[in-house]
């Protein structure tokens, strides 16, 4: 991409914004705006376009007019990644941020391996101990209480791949960890 052209009119409070961003000599551009003047509206507009919906002006009810071109061609919705400041997780499209194709491929392969290994790990725990996926995930991350990166996650899951629980662990998670037992365990007299 060498040039990005945008024209937003009546888009979530943006009356009119028209600009050419030149990426021929640099890979980034900075847009500054004081709080409450356009950043959220700019993000909302791109988000709607990425969802193939039309932006609008919420105050007046007017349909928004937008034109977004990359190197002279209309942008494809699948090529838009919107990261909002209030979301605590970035979507699965994070690999779009990686510039080099080899790094992108490596990232996607690693994430696929992590997700598959994690899913198998949780399924094995559920089959042995019962409980829900959500409750087991919460316990897992509470137990490790470390900043988990991809390498650490794979290391943990690999150590449990061939997990064979001894017969003395003949209980269900949901029988041991539920509201009634937690109330008893928290009781100092117990």
Q: Which is it for strands 14-22 and 65-70: parallel, antiparallel or unpaired?
A: unpaired
Stated pTM of the model:
0.47
Domain membership of residue 95 (yes or no) is no
In this structure, the answer to whether residues 119 and 156 fall within a common structural domain is yes
- d(C-alpha 160, C-alpha 143), whole Å: 15
pLDDT tier at 157 (50, 70, 90 boundaries)? low
Contact between 18 and 6 under an 8 Å Cβ cutoff? The reply is yes
Mean pLDDT of 118-133: 74
- Asked if residue 111 has pLDDT above 60, the reply is yes
Position 6 scores a pLDDT of 93
Domain membership of residue 8 (yes or no) is yes
Domain membership of residue 93 (yes or no) is no
Domain membership of residue 96 (yes or no) is no
Domain membership of residue 35 (yes or no) is yes
In this structure, the answer to whether residues 43 and 75 fall within a common structural domain is yes
Mean predicted lDDT score pLDDT of the chain:
77
User: Which residue has better confidence, 129 or 89?
Assistant: 129
In degrees, to the nearest 5, what angle opens at C-alpha 68 toward C-alphas 88 and 7? 100
Position 67 scores a pLDDT of 93
User: Which residue has better confidence, 175 or 54?
Assistant: 54
Alpha helices in the chain (DSSP H): 39-50, 101-129, 133-144, 150-160, 173-176, 179-186
In this structure, the answer to whether residues 106 and 84 fall within a common structural domain is no
Tokens of 109: 């392969």
188 to 3, 182, 185: CA distances (angstroms):
67, 12, 8
- Domain holding 151, by residue range, is 101-186
């Amino acid at each position: 991409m060498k040039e990005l052209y945008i024209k937003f009119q009546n888009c979530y409070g943006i009356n009119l914004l028209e600009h050419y961003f030149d990426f021929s000599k640099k890979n980034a551009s900075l847009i500054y705006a004081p709080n409450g003047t356009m950043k959220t509206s700019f993000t909302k507009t791109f988000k709607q376009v990425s969802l193939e919906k039309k932006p609008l002006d919420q105050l007046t009810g007017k349909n928004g007019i937008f034109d977004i071109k990359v190197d002279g061609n209309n942008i494809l919705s699948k090529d838009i990644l919107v990261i909002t400041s209030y979301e605590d997780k970035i979507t699965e499209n994070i690999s779009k941020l990686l510039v080099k194709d080899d790094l992108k491929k490596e990232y996607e392969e690693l994430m696929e391996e992590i997700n598959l290994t994690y899913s198998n790990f949780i399924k094995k725990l559920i089959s042995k101990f019962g409980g829900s996926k959500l409750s087991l995930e919460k316990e897992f991350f509470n137990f490790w209480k470390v900043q988990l990166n991809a390498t650490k996650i794979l290391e943990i899951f690999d150590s449990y791949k061939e997990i064979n629980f001894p017969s003395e662990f003949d209980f269900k998670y949901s029988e041991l960890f539920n509201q009634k037992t937690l109330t008893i365990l928290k009781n100092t007299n117990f």
